Amino acid sequence: MISKGIVIEVKKNYGIVLSDEGIYEKLVKKGSLSEGDRIIYTREDIYAARHAGHKKIYRTLVSAAMVIFAIAMALGFENLPSQNVYAVVSMDINPSIQYYLDKNDLVLRTEAMNEDGLDIVGCGLEGLSIEKAINRTLEEAEKTHYLKSDSKIIVSAVELKSGKLDYAEKIAEKIFVEPMIAQNKIEVFVLEVDRNDYEESRSMDTSLGKYKVYEIRGEDSSGSLEDINGMKASEIIEKDMLDEGKVHVFKNTEKDQQNEISNQSNNMKKTPEKTQKAETDEKTELTIMPGDENEKLSMEDLSKRGQNLEEVKKAETKNAKTAPLGNKEAEDMPDSDYVEDVLMAENEKAAGKDEFAGLPENRNEKKVLPNSNNGNGTKLEKGDSVKAVEFDLEKKIEKQAKEKVAKNEDLGKPLNIADQENVETNSNSGNRVKFEKNASLKVAESDAASESEKQAKGRAVENNKDKPSADEDLVSSSKDQARDESKPGKNSKTSDSTENKDEKSGNDKKFENDETERGKKEKLVAFKGKSDAKI
Amino acid sequence: MSKRTASKGAQVLERRIKSIKNGNNQEKEAFIRDYIPFIVKSVSKCIDAYLESTESDEFSIGLKAFDEALQRYEIDKGNFISYADLVISSRIKDYRKKESRNRTLPLSSFDSENGNLLEREFSTGDFTSEIDIKEQLKEFKLKLGEFNITLEQLLEESPKHKDTRLKALCIAKKVSSNAILKNEFLSKKKLPFSHIRREMQISQKAIRRSNGFIIAAVLIFINDWPDLKNQLPEFDKDGGELIDK
């Protein structure tokens, strides 16, 4: 059917016609439709019909928009306006937060990457520069008790647009001077990550930093991403999960010489921890020693271990040439000079090994001392307890002594000495418990010079013994060592003057608590075991 | 064109084309007549404007092209409709090109036997009204405004059903031809409902539903705007009976 009509009015989207049947109809506009035109049209030109079509299209568009919206919701909105995001910085304390930055390193928006992050993310970070934002986040974290004095944080930074790799360094420099970090001496590890890491972290729904840790660890596959997500940054750092061979790390501790003290403490902390692990193992074995048979078995174990260790040490001593000098040098070593320290440390290492190889009797003597003289033994330990580090070192000595014992077993008289030692510890136990509980800060004034000398030697040896096996990174570890060893060295010199020690104890106060507590626990375990054995 | 299913439609189409090919001229004429809406649509689409009338050049060309398509079409070539559409649009384009080159080309050259027939069929007679149509429309809208009726209202109130529509127009004719009713209508600016109800036995509800439409029709009848009146069905002088157009 075609109709003829007169166009009565032309509206924006349609024209109104009066058809030859007397009907008023809306028609779609075609060409230059104007009033008064006589036109012929078909049913298909009627606007209502087309209008329905429009509605359909409109509905389709709306539903399409809804679908896109839903997808956007599912994927997270940050993916949509990401064209404005120039760089991403993540910070992990335990709360993980990610900052999305514009070209001028101003925070466009933030995102909490875990539940804890939600507690601190809403403190008005948008619009701040990244360093201020991090500072404020740290303040917030401190308020909410996520950030403690000994917390360490991991920061990762990636520039998305150009993918420049020096971006992390740039960020590191900016944030290291922020008051929260510089004044509180918070350790910050800035990881250099790339765009791929960012993409991956997004797909795994984790923060950049933790993803990077996971990636580094991925080859060992010793920890799942979930494990890592659950860890505090401090734990990650302390467990040495940041293999610097695999990721470029910028630390404020390296840069800031003022932080030497905390640095020292950190190093000290690291070292004993490793040895402590081994020690704990042995102590645990000791605790299972009430019966004679058990004892024998475990002693055999110990002896094996001792043997192994000895073999390793021997192999290493082959490399050491400057053996005998080392010890003396260690004693004379000035505390301040870094380079010398490093060199010294290496010498020392060698010396230690040599000494270790050549000084078993000496050690035994020393170990026997407490056996024969309860008073002395206690004093010794008291002295150690003043300084947590020394305390640990003492433990190491003990441990080594046990290794010695094991060695002695090799030499044919193992059980005797082992027993002796056992007995010794038992007899000492009363005193020990006392001092452990008190954790007295007083220095044993009456320490014999000779004894402390021995102690120093023992420590030097001890350090040397531990280091090579534990640390692979020679430069950093040797620095640690140098500092570690400088103390015993100094100590042996000035062991008769208590002042020096007090000073030190002040320095060490920070980590003292931690360390002594840990030490106590382990000692207590050991003690229990021993007292059982006695009974 | 009645509603058919696609396949049935295709079958019928095929049969008819076969018949035409066999020289059935009657069938051909009927076929073209049936497909005039298609031709209008096709041409209109091609020129992106409404055809002014079935007497326009474009429509003639469309008709010719359709005829040509019918002659040249072979059943196994595919869909006739799309083929015809193609032929029409290409002919229209040719014509437009020619038109733009030489505007003096006589259009009568497109006369064809069938075309002439159909043109006569669909011509709406003379449009020799002396009053400019735009003036008529202006007045019409003005009057509608006096009665508080908008064009949108007219769109809504146009009775879709033909019988209803004719009845409404019938009422309008009566009102306009009866002096009393006409006066009442013009003075009260509304339809004389009670009178209509009484006279024509139509419920007020039905009247109200088409109120605007009836008022518009009354106005057209009263004012006698030729172009508009021409769009409405014709009634005899008494206003009662509908005379088929």
Whether the CB of B50 is below 8 Å from some CB of chain A: the reply is: yes
- CA angle (A268, A513, A182) in 5-degree steps: 65
From chain B, pick out residues whose CB is under 8 angstroms from the CB of A25: 155, 158
Mean pLDDT of A305-327: 49
Most confident of A68-77, A236-245, A487-496: A68-77
What phi, psi does A294 have (nearest 5°)? -55, -45
User: Closest approach of chain A CAs to the CA of B209, in angstroms?
Assistant: 15
CB contact under 8 A, A8 and B140: yes
What phi, psi does A2 have (nearest 5°)? -115, 150
At residue B90, the pLDDT reads 92
Threshold 0.80, pTM exceeds: no
At residue A78, the pLDDT reads 54
From chain B, pick out residues whose CB is under 8 angstroms from the CB of A47: none
From chain B, pick out residues whose CB is under 8 angstroms from the CB of A51: none
- Give strand ranges (E) for A20-138: 24-28, 38-42, 87-92, 96-101, 107-112
How many C-beta atoms lie closer than 10 Å to residue A326's C-beta?
Answer: 26
Which strand ranges, in their side-by-side order, compose the sheet holding A38-42?
A: A24-28, A14-19, A2-10, A38-42
DSSP result, B78-128: S-HHHHHHHHHHHHHHHHHHHHHH-TT--GGGG--HHHHHHHHHH------
CB contact under 8 A, A33 and B232: no
Least CB-CB distance to B44: which of A1, A30, A32? A30
Residue A125 has pLDDT above 70, yes or no: yes
At residue B91, the pLDDT reads 92
Residue A90 has pLDDT above 80, yes or no: yes
Beta bridge partners of A129: A106
Of residues A497 and A115, which shows the higher confidence score? Answer: A115
User: pLDDT grade, residue A466 (50/70/90)?
Assistant: very low
Render the burial of A410-449: b for 16+ CB within 10 Å, e for the rest.
eeeebbebbebbbebbbebbebbeebbeebeeebbeebee
- ipTM of the complex, rounded to two decimals: 0.78
pLDDT tens for A206-216 read 888 888 887 77
Lowest average pLDDT, out of A61-75, A99-113, A235-249, goes to A235-249
Q: A366 CB contacts (<8 Å, ≥6 apart)? A: A397, A401, A454, A458
* A45-to-A1, A53, B29, B90, B155 alpha-carbon distances in Å: 11, 12, 25, 22, 15
Contact by Cβ (8 Å): A215, A223: no
Residue A98 has pLDDT above 70, yes or no: yes
How far is it, in rounded angstroms, from Cα B135 to Cα B125?
Answer: 21
From chain A, pick out residues whose CB is under 8 angstroms from the CB of B155: 16, 24-26
* A331-to-A242, A381, A453 alpha-carbon distances in Å: 34, 21, 9
How far is it, in rounded angstroms, from Cα B39 to Cα B45?
Answer: 10
Q: Three-state SS across A287-336?
A: HCCCCHHHHHHHHHHHHHHHHHHHHHHHHHHCCCCCHHHHHHHHHHCCCC
In a mutagenesis test of the A interface, which of B50, B156, B164 is the best target, namely the one with the most A β-carbons within 10 Å? B50
Residue B243 is classified by DSSP as: P
Residues forming CATH 1.10.1740 domain(s) in chain B: 3-103
How far is it, in rounded angstroms, from Cα A326 to Cα A348?
Answer: 5
Whether the CB of B129 is below 8 Å from some CB of chain A: the reply is: no
Q: Computed over its alpha carbons, how large is the radius of gyration of chain B?
A: 23
Percent of chain B with pLDDT over 70: 80
User: pLDDT grade, residue A48 (50/70/90)?
Assistant: low
Beta bridge partners of A110: A99
Most confident of A31-45, A79-93, B56-70, B128-142: B56-70
Lowest average pLDDT, out of A286-300, B148-162, B189-203, goes to A286-300
At residue A380, the pLDDT reads 43
User: pLDDT grade, residue A27 (50/70/90)?
Assistant: confident
At residue B242, the pLDDT reads 56
Q: Is A498 exposed, middle or buried (0-12, 13-18, 19+ CB in 10 A)?
A: middle
Beta bridge partners of B51: A40
Which class would CATH give B3-103? mainly alpha
Residue A284 has pLDDT above 70, yes or no: no
Q: A381 CB contacts (<8 Å, ≥6 apart)? A: A391, A394, A431, A432, A435
Contact by Cβ (8 Å): A386, A501: yes
CA dihedral B24, B30, B31, B36 (to 10 degrees): 150
How far is it, in rounded angstroms, from Cα B25 to Cα A398?
Answer: 123
Angle between helices B36-47 and B57-72 (to 10 degrees): 120
User: pLDDT grade, residue A434 (50/70/90)?
Assistant: very low
Q: Three-state SS across A338-356?
A: HHHHHHHHHHHHHHHHHHH
Of residues B36 and A253, which shows the higher confidence score? Answer: B36
Beta bridge partners of A392: none
At residue B152, the pLDDT reads 85
Mean pLDDT of A161-172: 78
* A289-to-A299, A530, B31 alpha-carbon distances in Å: 9, 8, 113
pLDDT tens for A342-363 read 555 555 555 544 444 444 444 4
Residue whose C-alpha is closest to residue A352's, from A392, A319, A399, A387: A319
Of residues A513 and B103, which shows the higher confidence score? Answer: B103
At residue B178, the pLDDT reads 85
Whether the CB of B201 is below 8 Å from some CB of chain A: the reply is: no
Residue B37 has pLDDT above 50, yes or no: yes
Of residues A11 and A533, which shows the higher confidence score? Answer: A11
User: Closest approach of chain B CAs to the CA of A56, in angstroms?
Assistant: 21
How far is it, in rounded angstroms, from Cα A275 to Cα A467?
Answer: 9
How far is it, in rounded angstroms, from Cα A27 to Cα A49?
Answer: 9
In a mutagenesis test of the A interface, which of B231, B235, B242 is the best target, namely the one with the most A β-carbons within 10 Å? B231
At residue A218, the pLDDT reads 64
Least CB-CB distance to A20: which of B44, B51, B231? B231
How far is it, in rounded angstroms, from Cα A342 to Cα A226?
Answer: 39
Least CB-CB distance to A24: which of B40, B48, B154? B154
Whether the CB of B169 is below 8 Å from some CB of chain A: the reply is: yes
How far is it, in rounded angstroms, from Cα A518 to Cα A401?
Answer: 20
Residue A160 is classified by DSSP as: T
User: Closest approach of chain A CAs to the CA of B71, in angstroms?
Assistant: 24
Mean pLDDT of B177-189: 87
Percent of chain A with pLDDT over 70: 41
CB contact under 8 A, A2 and B137: no
